[in-house]
Structure 1
Amino acid sequence: MSDIMRPIPFAQLMDWALTEYRQQKSLFGVCKLVRHENGQARPIFGEKIEAPFGPAAGPNTQLAQNIVATYAAGARFFELKTVQIMDGEALSKCVAKPCITAGDECYNCEWSTELTVPQAYEEYVKAWFACKLLAKELALGDPDGFVFNMSVGYDLEGIKSPKIDAYLEGMKDASGSAVWRTCMEWALDNTDRFEQVDAAYIRTVSPRVSCSITESTLHGCPPDEIERIATYLITEKGLHTYIKCNPTLLGYTFARKRLDSLGFDYVTFDDHHFAEDLQWTDAVPMFRRLMGLCAERKLEFGVKLTNTFPVDVAAGELPSQEMYMSGRALFPLTISLARRIAEEFEGGLRISYSGGADVHNVEALFAAGIWPITVATTILKPGGYQRLSQMGKLLMDCGSEPFRGVNAQAVAALAEQVESDPYYRKPIKPLPERKMHRKVPLIDCFTAPCRDGCPIEQDIPAYLMAVSRGEYGQALEIITRRNALPFITGTICPHRCADKCMRNYYEESVWIREMKLRAAQGGYDALLSKQKARSAVSGKKVAVVGGGPAGMAAAFFLGREGVPVTLFEATGALGGVVRHIIPEFRISSEAIDKDEALVRAMGAEVRLNTYVGSYQELEEQGFTHVIFATGAQKPGDPRLEYGDYVNFTEVLAALKAGNAPTLGTDVAVIGGGNSAMDTARAVKRLPGVEHVRLVYRRTRRYMPAEEEELRLALEEGVEFLELLAPKGVKDNILTCAVMELGAPDASGRRAPVPTGRTQELPCTTLIAAVGERIDESVDVGPWPVIGDRRQGPATVVEAIADAIQASRAIMEWETGTYTNQNICEDYNRPFMKKGDLCSDCDGCADTRCLGCPTVCEVCADVCPNRANVAVAVPGKRQRQIVHVDGMCNECGNCATFCPYESRPYRDKFTLFWSREDFDNSGNEGWLPASGEDGGCLVRLDGQVREYQVDDSGCGLPEDLRLLILAVQDNYGYLLREK
């Protein structure tokens, strides 16, 4: 079944590693191999580590191939996934699937290995032996320069059981185990596959896999039980011992306040874990006793900070009632606990760190004397294990000093910096929808999600590549193929494309809008100079009514195609709302002028100060086609019970015309959209205005305005008054109904509910910014309407999308001219960006584009088990994804990040290892031939048939046939021996 992991034999593990490296110079998908050549290594547990970091106990240390991948990427300290008395199928039945989602902060509802304890033992021994061989063969570093750290839980009786005891003793000395003999025999029998490894070296590989352990403390474990377990591990098993602490040691009040202050107020939890978990007053004396106990036995003792943080499932994140939070949201809690411990023990208690560690903080943590550092969430995100490579470079010169203590002052400084560091602050608004509303195809699934997020499907990767080469003229040609207003959209476009950008999962989206503006500025003159007189299209004469963005775009496209087009505008200037309403600080008149010049350069005739009241007068003038783009100009209704208000358009239009209105000292703005933000920011600049209060019936989290606009309004001093619904204004007093948020619905959204209370605010002027309505006074007859006239107040780019559709209905023109240019000719250029996060997006010379239509493979990146594999197929420019059923436990992480609304572990073409697994799955895929006749069993479109895939006429779709052959011929290590 697809949720059952089938550990691969040592022979297959090594064949995979060696073959992949020979063919691709990578190991289990990791191409950024980190080699340690400086001789530095930190002593720990009587052993040494060349780098003071590695994977935390979790999915990334569950299978042998996972551990080898992390070693290849530079990790040298491995906290193995926790084992406990309940294991295998019994444990798996308790874990709801999917069990991981790491979209921003990470949530999971699994805790220990899903393998049986004996299986887990075999995985760790195989990984240990493989790393020893590969370290030597591939010159990755000192074969003795890494450490395996066991993790066990959760009760003493279970740990004393024969099963767990055999595991502990076997890890301390694996030489008597069957798996050790298997590894040794394979290595000795295959010395011909190595160049640097010989039989003498193989026989020196140490069977002492681990002499250290981390005690994992499940929530609610009593302090005396925790201490009994630790004492047993120290005195009876002679193990260097860490105790994993829970964030609940901080107390409910601190944790709630800390998360709320950083924008994580939507994370729901109560105080029961805080009351039931280990308390500070019990922890401190216990740690002191255990420190003394270890000192007597010359063993090392420390604390592991921290476990994941238990929270409620509030918005259907996972199919469980409770889940565990980790990642950057956990860092503020964990570093605060590290501070408290460092100060309490004056730096003398060793801290192993995990909560929210990543490339942003590993150097500072290490510099503060906190090591080893382990990570999980960051390598569950796009880039995957290769994110470790970047950390490995940062920590390469770690020195060879033993633990000298934790610098309490440095840790305190890290804890204090969190409040002002935007990295740890949640955006004001919920993250936008990242998915494309399409199912992932079985093959050729690479795509550009940014294009899907753009209403006009701009060829974004193509023009980003041109910008990065400095070819602004070419970039602008690509842009204007679909976008008639590059200056306006390059300045105020809401850039929904950026919402879909895969770079969001690294640090922030590519600055697509800014790159568009750079192209417009750099390529403007060249584009204008290329415009030539066109032969007029006969039989057509088009009138476009309304000179706002929609009308300008329609005139641009039709004029460019040689269609005689006249643009009618009732005012004295083109631009519509952008020209007459949106403040100058948002977009300059010069930018609008340049887009107007482009429209005129395409051949459109412009008639200003010309009002058109009906379609008949245009038809009478001989126009064969008419497009109405007259906008939505009627003011919205704030639905007050009493009192007067001013519509925001009146205020902004007056300001834009240089006629500043007198509004008094206290201005209130009703609304939460971009127009409300524009109004509030503009009014805040007026002399005499002391307070601008934005009143909204929900919280800012649910305001429709863009994150950027909210942030700018806050930075400029606009006061946000949340959960207030205006009732009326009288005598300079605005009375509002006080609201509260009700229970979350299935999506997590909480509706406002009246409390019955009211609140009064000083208000000299009340401005309503609640959207505009359509003016139906213009008679459009049978002709199409576009822009705000059609869809209500919308965005400039949505207006352009309307213009494309309307213009193509009159004169068909090609939109896909530059589609092929979205794919980079050099596959390695975007591929080598994987895993590298940018710490300074402002100063980054590159666009940071990951080149998704050239190389996506994000499902392969984020799979801890390497169950999604990218394979090269002859005749295909991009590599194809194969899902390997036997290596997948359906954790669901690939579904989180796949740009499609799909689950790659269910929806990609799947390789099966057994008939049982094939029959127990609904995935489309194949079971390789078991005999010599070459017949493969294939499930496709719900039908199961046998195909002779060597025969091009077998009836199987050619793309899938070639994919199967590619795996068979070049990726034999993916196939399980029968």
Structure 2
Amino acid sequence: MSDIMRPIPFAQLMDWILTENAEKGSIFGIRKIVRHEGGAEPIFAEKIETPFGPAAGPNSQLAQNIVASYVAGARFFELKTVQVMDGEELSKCVAKPCIVAEDECYNCEWSTELEVPQAMSEYIKAWWACKLLARELGLGDPDGFVFNMSVGYDLEGIKSPKVDAYIEGMKDASGTAVWAECLEWANANLDRFQNVDADFVNSVSPHVSASVTESTLHGCPPDEIERIATYLITEKGLNTYIKCNPTLLGYDYARERLDGLGFDYIVFDDKHFREDLQWADAVPMFERLIKLTSERGLSFGVKLTNTFPVDVTRKELPSEEMYMSGRSLFPLTIHLARKISEEFDGKLRISYSGGADAQNIKGLYGAGIWPITMATTVLKPGGYERFSQIAHVLEGVERKSDVDVAAVAALDESVATDHKYAKPIKPAPAHKLDWPLPLTNCFTSPCRNGCPIEQDIPAYLAAVDEGRLADALAIIAERNALPFITGNLCPHPCGTKCMRAFYEPEGAAIRASKLKAARGGIDELLATIKAEGAQAVPGAEGKNVAVIGGGPAGLACAFFLTRAGAKVTIFERKESLGGVARHIIPAFRISDEDIDRDVELCRAFGAEVKLGVEVTDVAELKADGYTDVVVCTGAWAPGHVGLEYGDEIDVLDFLAAAKSGLDLSALGTDVVIVGAGNTAMDAARVAKRLPGVQNVRIVYRRTKRYMPADEEELAEALSEGVELCELLAPKGVADGVLTCDVMELGEPDESGRRSPVATGKTLEVPATAVICAVGEKIEDGIYEAAGVQTDRRGRPAGCETGVEGVWAAGDCRRGPARFVDAIADAQEVARKMCGVDFSKYAAANVRAGHESDCYERKGDLRLGCAGCQKSSGCLGCATVCEACCDVCPNRANVSITVPGLAQHQVVHVDGMCNECGNCAVFCPWSGRPFKDKLTLFWSAEDMGNSTNQGFLAQPDGSFLVRLASGTGAYDVDDASCGLPEEVRLTIKAVRDSYAYLLAK
């Protein structure tokens, strides 16, 4: 199987660590190495410098995982659970991929996939590596960290010779073969150290662990839980935690709390709540165990909490049940912490793991809850280096011996108002690009590639962050003719692709930075345009273009074409330019002053304007000498609800009337908006502001999760008091009442969208006026007169309409769409009509020489500090991506520098991968790095068991290389060997500069 992990011998492990640190300044990719200088605090009979680390899970399974956590600042390690079922037997039970941590985390694995003796070896190797690194690199007290065992799941299995040998070997490893291996290597390699000597090596304690967390599967009877704990305390002499399940809270509480936070789509029944440990049994058990450990001079505590079992309903993982963790688990875990701390007056030790991260750990620790272990946060981009930030967050926080009951209660109560724990109203759009993952050279700008105009986002964000606003605006304006309109109103589809959105939901400040650049740089840019003039393009010579419509599409066409040297005249039937942005969008969303600046920019290269002129016949313009005509008339024809009776008001007529200040008192007290797009949200918010209007309701036949409106637009409307009436389909309005069919959602289609189905019931909604906002239509007069063929929705074939010299852009080409789509159409017109190239700043997205800046940002959440908010938050993915490297618990994806290639390359190390799938979740491409990246194999057997394209070192110095084209042996020093150059150079770099990656 290609998912088998091959533990690294201690010699190779240490060679990797020491060589990488000496040559690259990193350890297993961790550059933010944390050094503790403040001393260590007692825990059990040991001590820890910081009270946090990885939870028992994917981040504490292999030696390199633990080392990565240690150098990033962690000092409490809850080792992955061992049980009597292990190795191949267990692996067959774990469906792969087994982790998806895109938002809240789900997994379907529960204990180490290694054999139990292998697991012990990994932990002992990690113990030695951390001791040596502590002394050699001055990372802190070599005795300032703790390894906490985790065992499960029944007493018979824990008493088995295999698990018993593990427990005894961890208590005293001196008699184990792996201890001898580590000790021998350390003494034989003292010359590789500056600060480690023989005395230190021989003083390393073999007592690897003196504590244990009892892990109980759901359904474990309370008497079995107590028997296990009693055995671990009395027979094994271990400080003991019992891992509690969130099911202790009861089904009703869990369902109500998750529903209230927007996690109503998470499916579970009351099975585990009935079968798991009950509160009435837990409290007296804990009291007995507290007494038992006290009598033996040991410590007892509870671990909060286990993951939460839920059903697989959306093909999240290839199993029927999965385990939930992360931010959706925090509201349950913190409430259970409150309940337990109140019951025991803060005297029962609480070890915490349930959605902890940099944003809440200070509050948890300050409340006396520690140690704190984490998995979900370090499974996200930034990975283990999120621990580095957490180490600094906790600096100076006073450690408490008891739990502060009031502080825990406050944390619990804060959940209801903290947006961090609330699921967005609507599901997040897909973040992946719809392109296959390249074998090499994969660093890209997902935000740029997710933008309809491929705005050079990393380039302009860097300029804004450096205060170069005019430079930033020049970059923006190369592709975007409307920086003010888009800076205010763009729904920023780029943001759904932004890697920063995996740190904080809002992602990088892309739109806000654009507006900042526009307002700060417009005067200088206009002066530059005036001084330098058009950027003449040969294809524009002799072009005399008529643009029909002075809205966003028409303005953008005029800007791009006149900049290229074409002559352009805009014909606008109204008395001012700006289209929907000017005449429809409410002033509280964009000011006339901002629209004026975009108009000024679009006319800066000399576009002429004729206002108050309506064009109905393209032939007349051609007869007047225009070589090309671009139709940019928008979509102004009204849509219709289709009421069976009663009148409806067109939303554009309503918004135009409201913006022009007309008297709308005839609307009455109760206004109903039918529709669920952004225009409907605008109408609702405008209506809410009108004198005399008391209630504004949006009627929608589906639920809010399926609304086309942007999340922020819906949220604004709801925050202003607009009422959302879901699952209602309007029938007719009469006598101040809108009668609606009551709907329900049917079964999901292949896309997951559930169509509404009538229930046969009706509901009456007060309605003195009904405004229709269900999609405007395209006026077809100009197309018909020009002989342009259109589809059933009135749309031409594309920007090239099929009629020579007649073009289309904007809503009259697509139907109602976003402003950025209108600009994309204008780009296409300019590209195809005149050969305009918009790639002037494309290379500036990659900031060669600024890699260190990108690495510095990795792992750091924006915690609200003033300094954090001054920057855009851009991670610089085009310069350094490495998301797949960040999120790999096992460090199986490695970024290397390849001489001769501009980008770093990602190499996948097969022997370190168990195909958990986490890297596939976060890769911006539609690919799976653990399958699709160039793979380094350690053996012919593993290469034969895999289908990956990759390479294997041969005894004669050549490499066996498998690519899509076939398999062969190659001399990578021979430039003419036949390998693609990127592949050849990458393999050569591994051999020459990263030999520690190769099997010894």
The one of 629, 632, 635 aligned to 2:635? 632
Aligned mates of 2:647, 2:276 — CA distance in 1: 57
Is 1:851 equivalent to 2:871 in the alignment?
no
Per the alignment, residue 809 of structure 2 pairs with 786
Deviations 1:139-191 (A, max 9, x none): 10100000000001111111111111010111011101101100111111111
- Which stretch shifts more, 9-18 or 598-607? 598-607
| SS of corresponding position for 2:331 | helix
Q: Which residue of 2 aligns with 1:928?
A: 953
Give, as a single letter, the amino acid of the residue that structure 1 aligns with 2:675.
G
Question: What CA distance in whole angstroms lies between the structure 2 residues aligned with 1:203 and 1:746?
Answer: 63
Q: Deviations over 1:724-783 (max 9, x none)?
A: 111111111111111222344454433322222111111100111101111111234321
- What is the DSSP-based 3-state SS (H/G/I as helix, E as strand, rest coil) of the residue aligned with 1:243? strand
Q: Which residue of structure 2 lines up, in the alignment, with residue 883 of structure 1?
A: 908
Q: Tell me how far apart the structure 2 counterparts of residues 666 and 477 of structure 1 sit (CA, whole Å).
A: 47
> Which one of the candidate residues 795, 809, 820 is aligned to 2:832?
809
2:590 aligned residue (582, 587, 591): 587
Distance 2:933 2:694 in 1: 59
| Separation (CA, whole Å) in 2 of partners of 1:413 and 1:758 | 44
Q: Distance in 1 between matches of 2:322 and 2:645?
A: 48
Select 1:708's aligned residue among 703, 712, 722.
Answer: 712
1:765 is aligned to 769
Q: CA deviation at 1:320?
A: 0.8
Which letter maps to 2:323? Y
Structure 1 position 732 matched with structure 2 position 730: no
Letter in 2 for 1:906: K
2:440 aligned partner: 443
| Deviation at residue 942 of structure 1 after TM alignment | 4.5
Contact 2:899 2:989 in 1 (8 A): yes
Q: 1:797 aligns with which of 803, 814, 820?
A: 820
Distance 1:469 1:397 in 2: 32
**Cα distance between partner residues in 2 of 1:942 and 1:540:** 48
Kept in 2: contact 1:316–1:746 (CA 8 A): no
Query: Helix, strand or coil for the counterpart of 2:570?
Result: strand
Q: TM-score w.r.t. structure 1 length?
A: 0.98
Tell me the amino acid that sits aligned with residue 678 of structure 2.
N
* Number of the residue aligned with 2:797: none
The count of corresponding residues between Structure 1 and Structure 2 is 972
Give the corresponding residue for 2:414. Answer: 417
Q: Which residue of 2 aligns with 1:820?
A: 843
> Residue in 1 aligned with 2:424?
427
Distance in 2 of aligned mates of 1:505 and 1:746 = 26
Contact 2:174 2:180 in 1 (8 A): yes
- Deviations along 1:919-965, one digit per CA (max 9) or x if unpaired, are 11111110112x23x22100111511111112111111111111111
Partner of 1:483: 480
1:567, distance to aligned residue in structure 2 (A):
0.8
Q: Which runs of 5+ in 2 are unaligned?
A: 788-802
User: Is 1:358 aligned with 2:369?
Assistant: no
Partner of 1:539 in structure 2? 542
How far apart are the structure 1 equivalents of 2:950 and 2:902?
22
Q: Deviations over 1:841-899 (max 9, x none)?
A: 77611111100100000100000000000011112333110000000000000000000
Instruction: Give 2:526's match in structure 1, choosing from 522, 525, 528.
Output: 528
**Cα displacement (A) at 1:547:** 1.0
- Partners in 1 of 2:422 and 2:593 — Cα distance? 36
Partner of 1:207, secondary structure, is coil
2:237 corresponding residue in structure 1: 238
Aligned pair 1:574/2:580, yes or no? Answer: no
Please list the CA deviations of residues 904-926 of structure 1 after superposition, one character each: whole Å capped at 9, or x if unmatched: 00000000000011111111110
CA contact (8 A) 2:643 2:732 kept: yes
Which deviates the most, 474-483 or 241-250?
474-483
Q: Partner amino acid for 1:418?
A: V
Partner of 1:20: 20
For residues 200 and 291 of structure 2, what CA distance do their matches in structure 1 show? 39
TM alignment of 1:231-630, pairs within 5 A? 231-397=230-396, 404-507=401-504, 508-532=506-530, 533-534=533-534, 538-630=541-633
Alignment of structure 1 residues 75-94 onto 2, 5 Å = 75-94=74-93
Over 3 Å counting, the alpha-carbon distance change for 1:954 and 1:162 in structure 2 is same
Q: 1:70 — aligned with what?
A: 69
For the residues of structure 1 that align with 2:748 and 2:42, how far apart are their CA atoms?
Answer: 51
3-state SS in 2 of match to 1:328:
helix
**How far apart are residue 538 of structure 1 and its match?**
4.2
For residues 81-160 of structure 1, the aligned pairs below 5 Å read 81-160=80-159
Secondary structure of 2:701's partner? coil
Cα-to-partner distance string for 1:620-644 (whole Å, 9 max, x where unaligned) = 1011111111111111121222221
Is the contact made by 1:628 and 1:780 (CA closer than 8 Å) also made in structure 2? Answer: no
Aligned partner letter, 2:940: R
- Report the Cα distance in structure 1 between the residues aligned to 2:470 and 2:637, rounded to whole angstroms: 40
Q: Of residues 750, 754, 757 in structure 1, which corresponds to 2:754?
A: 750
Cα RMSD of the aligned pairs, angstroms, is 1.2
Distance 1:454 1:841 in 2: 29
Shifted more, 953-962 versus 278-287: the winner is 953-962
Tell me the CA shift for residue 432 of structure 1: 1.4
SS in 2 for 1:317: coil
The residue identity in structure 2 corresponding to 1:304 is: K
> Is the 1:315–1:744 Cα contact (8 Å) retained in structure 2?
no
| AA partner of residue 758 (structure 2) | P
Letter in 1 for 2:692: G
Q: Secondary structure at the match of 1:531?
A: helix
Structure 1 residue runs of 5 or longer lacking an equivalent are none
Are the equivalent residues in 1 in contact too, given 2:740–2:762 (CA < 8 A)? Answer: yes
Q: Distance in 1 between matches of 2:602 and 2:394?
A: 55
Aligned to 1:832: 856
Aligned match for 1:909, one of 910, 913, 934: 934
Q: What amino acid sits opposite 1:730 in the alignment?
A: A
SS of corresponding position for 2:781: coil
Aligned equivalents of 2:752 and 2:177: distance in 1?
51
Aligned amino acid, residue 866 of structure 1: R
In the alignment, what sits opposite 1:184? 183
Q: Which amino acid aligns with 2:600?
A: A
Q: TM-score, normalised by structure 2?
A: 0.96
Whether the aligned pair in 1 keeps the contact of 2:776 and 2:816 (CA below 8 Å) is yes
- 1:568/1:606 contact within 8 Å kept: yes
Kindly indicate whether the alpha-carbon contact (under 8 Å) linking 1:52 and 1:398 is maintained by their aligned counterparts in 2: no
SS at structure 2 position matched to 1:601: coil
Question: Which residue identity lines up with residue 106 of structure 1 in the other structure?
Answer: C
| Counterpart for residue 29 of structure 2 | 29
2:227 is aligned to 228
Contact 1:924 1:942 in 2 (8 A): no
Within 1, Cα distance between the matches of 2:611 and 2:249?
67
Q: Distance in 2 between matches of 1:709 and 1:727?
A: 26
Instruction: Please state whether the residue corresponding to 2:95 is helix, strand or coil.
Output: coil
* Offset of residue 398 of structure 1: 5.3
Deviations 1:336-371 (A, max 9, x none): 000000001111111000001111111111111111
Return the offset for 1:574. 1.1
Q: Helix, strand or coil: the match of 2:173?
A: coil
Per the TM alignment, residue 660 of structure 1 is displaced from its structure 2 partner at its CA by 3.3
Would you say 1:53 and 2:76 are equivalent positions?
no
Instruction: Work out the CA distance in 2 between the residues paired with 1:640 and 1:947.
Output: 73
Moved over 6 A (4+): none
**8 Å contact 1:313–1:322 — kept in the other structure?**
yes
Secondary structure at 1:937's aligned position in 2? strand
